[in-house]
């Protein structure tokens, strides 16, 4: 049987890895897919670089639309990234009746509803395993492996750059800026790391997982997003002493608010107990915990980025599409796991409606009555304190750190309480607030 013909849009880090792995493991992949898979065309603006990688094994063009217009191309791999030309090309491929494999989490998080609707209408497949957690097969697990379950929640370390920075801050006692520079020196962080350190990249991925887990449209604009730029070494140190680790987590949960069900969708630094497996995921690695009602907690761990790890996910999608491209579209796994006409309209909750516990650190004057004033303000808003530690002031110092751990409370109640606390003359500066989660 003739190999299925693939067009590759973009042959950068992931594209070159895809070309290399597909070539190297060609026979193994053919045995699994049932026929050969061949990259026949490559589109990249850097023609010289693309031709060097292809080495005569594929036709190289600078205009991606030539790939879309080639009637012999069955599958298009989009590895350009972003939401500009990539969106145009993906929709163009769909309109041309071609299946699409993409690693573009930004595109799917922002425009997935439109893209999936177009693919459904055209009867083609959009495969996107590589869009979340690189080579770790979390999308397939959610769409297929856990299909018997009602998913209760997902929590994931889904950005390797921020996890590396937090690991360096904890292991070496570095401040954020120093750890970021080290990440950039080693190639874990981009020259402009904004999307990573501000949590945007993780939010794109959490949005996609949330849509699959709960059968709702992708709604990135409703995600609550916080990065790690405001974290201080002192908080990481105190968390460690209290038996916790701080990780940037993408969290999505199905909750009952008392007024009906809703979905939490949030990315932020989180204190988690150090005994949890995910708390011990270090460096640039990714890990995702999924809690299903039947199976309980399951953990998926692996490299979340890089040339060949991400290529592994891209090629796994190629194999799936090769197996299924001739199947009746109604018998394929739906893009968001649930049938398109069965998607839910459950609301994404604002962060103010989220209930969680908190770690608070405040610099206070070392004098009588400070604790009483603070605890009164919390009690007035029904916030229960779980633990409190006041560090002894150094010799000659008139101020000290006060650490408070709370029980679960409404975010809005905490915001109101902290606004009042920060007005106290004995509280010296803004309060450091980090959400906590037991992941149980």
> Which residues neighbour 348 within 8 Å (Cβ) at sequence distance 6 or greater?
216, 219, 222, 223, 262, 263, 264, 265
Residues annotated as part of the active site: 205
* Dmax (CA) of the chain: 84
Query: Can you read off the two tokens belonging to residue 171?
Result: 């292991």
Q: Would you say the C-alpha torsion 171, 177, 183, 186 has a positive or negative sign?
A: negative
Residues 108/218, Cβ–Cβ less than 8 Å: yes
| CA count, 13 A, side-chain hemisphere, 84 | 1
| Angle between the N-to-C axes of helices 85-95 and 105-122, in degrees from 0 to 180, rounded to the nearest 10 | 20
Which residues are CB-neighbours of 44 under 8 A, at least 6 positions away? Answer: 9, 10, 11, 12, 15, 50, 60, 62
Q: Quickly list DSSP for 188-211.
A: SS-SS-HHHHTTHHHHHHHHHHHH
How far apart are the two ends of the chain, measured CA to CA in Å?
50
Q: Where are the alpha helices (DSSP H) in 55-190?
A: 64-68, 85-95, 105-122, 138-140, 160-172, 176-185
Q: In whole angstroms, what is the distance from residue 184 CA to residue 372 CA?
A: 45
- Going by C-alpha positions, the residue among 269, 277, 306, 14 that lies closest to residue 165 is 269
Asked if 131 contacts 108 with a C-beta cutoff of 8 angstroms, the reply is: yes
- Between strands 261-273 and 385-390, the pairing is unpaired
Tokens of 113: 């509803």
* Gap between the Cα atoms of 410 and 391, Å rounded: 27
CB 290 within 8 A of CB 154: yes
């Amino acid at each position: 049987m003739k190999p299925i013909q693939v067009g590759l849009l973009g042959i950068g880090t992931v594209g070159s890895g895809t070309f290399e792995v597909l070539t190297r493991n060609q026979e193994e992949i053919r045995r699994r897919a049932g026929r050969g898979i061949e990259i026949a065309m490559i589109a990249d603006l850097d023609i010289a670089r693309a031709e060097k990688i292809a080495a005569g094994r594929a036709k190289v063009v600078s205009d991606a639309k030539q790939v879309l217009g080639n009637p012999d191309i069955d599958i298009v791999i989009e590895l350009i990234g972003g939401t500009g030309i990539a969106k145009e090309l993906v929709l163009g491929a769909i309109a041309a009746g071609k299946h699409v494999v993409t690693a573009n989490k930004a595109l799917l998080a922002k425009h997935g509803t439109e893209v999936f609707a177009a693919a459904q209408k055209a009867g083609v497949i959009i495969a996107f395993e590589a869009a979340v957690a690189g080579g770790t097969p979390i999308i397939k697990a959610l769409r297929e492996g856990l299909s018997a379950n009602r998913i209760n929640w997902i929590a994931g370390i889904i950005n390797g750059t921020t996890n590396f920075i937090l690991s360096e801050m904890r292991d070496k006692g570095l401040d954020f800026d120093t750890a970021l520079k080290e990440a950039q020196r080693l190639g874990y962080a981009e020259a402009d790391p904004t999307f990573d350190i501000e949590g945007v990249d993780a939010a794109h991925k959490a949005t996609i997982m949330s849509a699959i887990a709960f059968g709702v449209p992708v709604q990135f604009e409703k995600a609550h997003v916080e990065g790690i730029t405001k974290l201080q070494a002192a908080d990481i140190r105190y968390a460690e002493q209290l038996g916790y680790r701080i990780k940037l987590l993408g969290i999505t949960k199905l909750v009952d608010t008392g007024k009906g069900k809703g979905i939490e969708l949030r990315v932020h630094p989180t204190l988690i107990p150090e005994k949890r497996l995910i708390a011990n995921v270090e460096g640039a690695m990714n890990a995702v915990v999924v809690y299903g009602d039947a199976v309980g907690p399951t953990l998926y761990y692996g490299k979340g980025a890089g040339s060949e790890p991400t290529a592994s996910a891209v090629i796994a999608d190629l194999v799936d599409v090769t197996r299924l491209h001739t199947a009746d579209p109604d018998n394929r796994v739906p893009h968001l796991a649930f049938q398109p006409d069965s998607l839910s309209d459950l609301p994404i909750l604002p962060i103010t409606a989220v209930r969680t516990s908190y770690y608070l650190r405040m610099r206070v004057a070392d004098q009588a009555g400070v604790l009483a004033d603070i605890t009164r303000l919390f009690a007035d808003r029904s916030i229960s304190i779980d633990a409190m530690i006041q560090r002894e002031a150094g010799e000659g110092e008139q101020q000290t750190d006060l650490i408070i751990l709370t029980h679960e409370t409404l975010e809005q109640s905490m915001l109101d309480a902290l606004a009042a606390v920060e007005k106290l003359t004995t509280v010296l500066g803004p309060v450091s607030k980090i959400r906590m989660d037991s992941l149980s």
